[in-house]
Chain A
Amino acid sequence: MNQHTTTHSKLIAIFTEKLNLEMPKPGMDLLATNYIDSLALVDLILNLEEQFGLRISLETLDLEVFRTLDSISRFVESGQTV
């Protein structure tokens, strides 16, 4: 599996198995549609940290990272710490 496929599989597992959400469609605005609210976002961040070995600071968070599935994928693949 290439990196993108691995990332996608892990994100599917996080959304469907950990967060109990339906898998969002690509391009869907997760924030504007209230698909994830503040507590769900904390939940998502905890799971991203655990699954991808990231440290994500809430104080310096760039919310745009979490706007779509694609932006989340790009973020975790870049291995950035925000």
Chain B
Amino acid sequence: MKILGISGIEGSIPFKQAHWPGLDEREYRISQGHDSAAALIIDGKVVAAAEEERFNRRKHSGAFPIGAINYCLQEAGLTVDEIDEIAHGFDYAPYQLLFNLDSFTKELYEEVFSKESLLKLVQRDMPGFPVDRVHQVGHHLAHAASAYFTSGWDECLTVVIDGMGEAHSVSIYHAHGGKLDLVHQLSSNDSIGILYSLVTLHLGFDFNSDEYKIMGLAPYGNSERYRSFFDKAVELQDDGSIRIPILRLNRTRDERENYLNSRQYLGEHLIAERHPDVEITDAHRDVAASLQACLDRTMEHICSHFARKLGLRRLAMAGGVALNCTANGKLMRSGHFDDIFIQPAAGDDGVALGAALYRASLGGDSVNRRLPTPFFGPASEPDEIEEAIAEFGDQIVATRFETLEETCEEAARLVAAGRVIAWFRGRMEFGPRALGHRSILADPGHPAMRDRINAMVKMREAFRPFAPAVTLEQAHQWFEIEPGTELPYMIFIVKVLEAHRDALPAITHVDGTARVQTVSTRDNADFHQLLCAVGRATGREMLLNTSFNVKGQPIVTTPQEAIDTFLKTGIEFLFVENTLLQRAGS
């Protein structure tokens, strides 16, 4: 079976813009269906997957993912006609009656959420595709499938935790024997994801987008200062569920759509709302710290309760909240689990993968193997690269190396000399993290490196830490993890060994932690080879690894975008496969 999974709801933000004109741009993200993507599964195996933003160049785009679909088809050498099914990672059909309760929600259902509205988009962008081959999979079920069917485990607890799916914020499954048995669900009115996003918005950042920045800000603050507020706001129940009364303060349509009363409550009982241009103070840092600590406790409360109840010690997770590396790291160290697997595209891009994997499992096509480092996106052919280099003409100078080994030696030499390099190689990553194929790299041992990279390319908030990539063989020498621990997706926070914190200033956060990525020869061989070369040059098989993009821009996809971004920033050297590019005259 050839199944194309898709995610995103194109009409969501336009519908909100039409009905609530004049909102702050950030408030339009209080809506459903961002981060659209496509994933192609053939006979149960992932063949290709990519986010639409990488093709239409609009960050977090929720547009129908025709760019990503075309890429997936091209990668597999298929035409649309050869696809057996399309599976969409939302299914509002069971809720139609509820949406009919009032004229507004009825219109929202018909124009945005219904299968008919999806089919219109399919017909617009994939004309002639048979409508009876388009299927919908419940949002949380798709998230759960994305985690379970890539975990490599026959049996585990599977937890989905996000802002909201169609109507729920948490879904607990007992996954076993290729099936996902639903155990418990929490209403979206008790969504820890929505609360986290509302506080993110309240602190002057973007809802449904900037939550990771609050996670990065949290270690600078005092988590006790606002603990009593969050203890009251999020009630932990004996049955493993939670209640968040302040999300139920909204009565009218306006209030409910934009959480007006909840936000007012935050302003009156927590802290005044911060405008994005206003300086971040200790109070903001303390709110971030208290919120993060609240999330840590909540995740542990929910996951540990159902693990005990079902007698399971393996946990697979997905959903946007599962991208919170700090909470994941705390959960890993909590002792409740022997092993935790977070599907790396845990946000809504991942439901494209999950919807397809779920439909494949129904047809008996399930291949439950541990997901490798997710290089499921496009690579560039040598002629495409040469064409891109030619396009930029005399702006750049190219040095071509014969082998990967020579390329790595030169890159390592530059890194050891304190230079910042961009590294574009192989297939693009699926999911939000650059894992060594579309990365900006530097030596983590240089004290000023964080500020330098921020100034030359990222233009991002100074408080946010950079992450390290380290060989699997050396990871335990630098970080508090057991030898051989694989953390290939950069999705867990671990502690930097105290003895090395001062020597690794560019990747050690203020609380002594780091969002580490381990790199193995098995599924990230080229990047491993580079790290080994860096190890010979610096004594550490480790690099600072951050995504190859500038603020507000999706990660680069093509060699043209790589060169263009390189030229517009202060990055000093760009490696595109085995070719080193420098600015002419530099």
Binding site for B on A (CB under 8 A): 18-21, 31, 34, 37-43, 46, 58-59, 61, 63
B102 touches A37 (CB 8 A): yes
Contacts of B185 in A (CB 8 A): 46
B248 touches A41 (CB 8 A): no
Q: Which 7 A-B pairs have the closest CB atoms?
A: A20-B248, A38-B98, A42-B167, A43-B187, A58-B94, A59-B94, A43-B189
Contacts of A43 in B (CB 8 A): 187, 189
Of A18, A21, A34, A41, which contacts B98 at CB under 8 A?
A41
A39 touches B97 (CB 8 A): no
A37 touches B248 (CB 8 A): no
Minimum distance in angstroms from A75 CB to a CB of chain B: 15
Contacts of A58 in B (CB 8 A): 94-95, 97-98
Please count how many residues in chain B sit with their CB below 8 Å of the partner chain's CB atoms: 23
Asked if B105 lies at the interface with its beta carbon under 8 angstroms from chain A, I say: yes
Of A39, A41, A59, A63, which contacts B188 at CB under 8 A?
A39
A-B contact pairs, 6 of them (CB 8 A): A34-B102, A34-B253, A38-B95, A42-B95, A43-B189, A58-B98
Minimum distance in angstroms from B138 CB to a CB of chain A: 11
- In the assembled complex, the Cα of A18 lies from the Cα of B99 at a distance in Å of 22
A-B contact count (CB 8 A): 54
Q: Point out which of A38, A46, A63 has the most chain B C-beta atoms below 10 A from its C-beta.
A: A38
B101 touches A41 (CB 8 A): yes
A38 touches B189 (CB 8 A): no
- In the assembled complex, the Cα of A46 lies from the Cα of B94 at a distance in Å of 14
- In the assembled complex, the Cα of A39 lies from the Cα of B101 at a distance in Å of 10
Minimum distance in angstroms from A71 CB to a CB of chain B: 15
- In the assembled complex, the Cα of A67 lies from the Cα of B118 at a distance in Å of 31
Of B97, B168, B245, which contacts A61 at CB under 8 A?
B97
Encoded as 1 (CB less than 8 Å from any A CB) or 0, chain B from 74 to 101 comes to 0000000000000000000111011111
Interface positions, chain B 436-465, Cβ under 8 Å from A, are none
Encoded as 1 (CB less than 8 Å from any A CB) or 0, chain B from 234 to 258 comes to 0000000001010011000100100
Binding site for A on B (CB under 8 A): 93-95, 97-102, 105, 167-168, 185-189, 243, 245, 248-249, 253, 256
B249 touches A20 (CB 8 A): yes
**Given A20-B245, A20-B249, A58-B95, does the pair A39, B102 have CB atoms closer than 8 Å?**
no
- In the assembled complex, the Cα of A18 lies from the Cα of B93 at a distance in Å of 26
Of B186, B243, B245, B256, which contacts A37 at CB under 8 A?
B256
Minimum distance in angstroms from A42 CB to a CB of chain B: 4
B243 touches A18 (CB 8 A): yes
- In the assembled complex, the Cα of A61 lies from the Cα of B99 at a distance in Å of 12
Of B102, B187, B249, B256, which contacts A42 at CB under 8 A?
B187
Contacts of B256 in A (CB 8 A): 37, 39
Contacts of B167 in A (CB 8 A): 38-39, 42
Contacts of B168 in A (CB 8 A): 42
- In the assembled complex, the Cα of A59 lies from the Cα of B97 at a distance in Å of 7
B243 touches A42 (CB 8 A): no
- In the assembled complex, the Cα of A31 lies from the Cα of B300 at a distance in Å of 37
- In the assembled complex, the Cα of A38 lies from the Cα of B188 at a distance in Å of 11
Minimum distance in angstroms from B91 CB to a CB of chain A: 11
Known A20-B249, A38-B167, A59-B94; further 6 A-B contacts with Cβ < 8 A: A18-B243, A20-B245, A37-B253, A39-B187, A39-B189, A39-B256
A59 touches B189 (CB 8 A): no
**Given A20-B249, A38-B95, does the pair A46, B101 have CB atoms closer than 8 Å?**
no
Chain A residue, CB-CB nearest to B246: A20
Of A18, A19, A20, A38, which contacts B101 at CB under 8 A?
A38
- In the assembled complex, the Cα of A31 lies from the Cα of B100 at a distance in Å of 11
B101 touches A31 (CB 8 A): yes
Contacts of B105 in A (CB 8 A): 37-38
Contacts of B189 in A (CB 8 A): 19, 39-40, 43
Chain B residue, CB-CB nearest to A30: B101
Q: Point out which of A37, A40, A43 has the most chain B C-beta atoms below 10 A from its C-beta.
A: A37
Contacts of A20 in B (CB 8 A): 245, 248-249
- In the assembled complex, the Cα of A37 lies from the Cα of B186 at a distance in Å of 17
Chain B residue, CB-CB nearest to A50: B239
- In the assembled complex, the Cα of A53 lies from the Cα of B330 at a distance in Å of 34
B93 touches A38 (CB 8 A): no
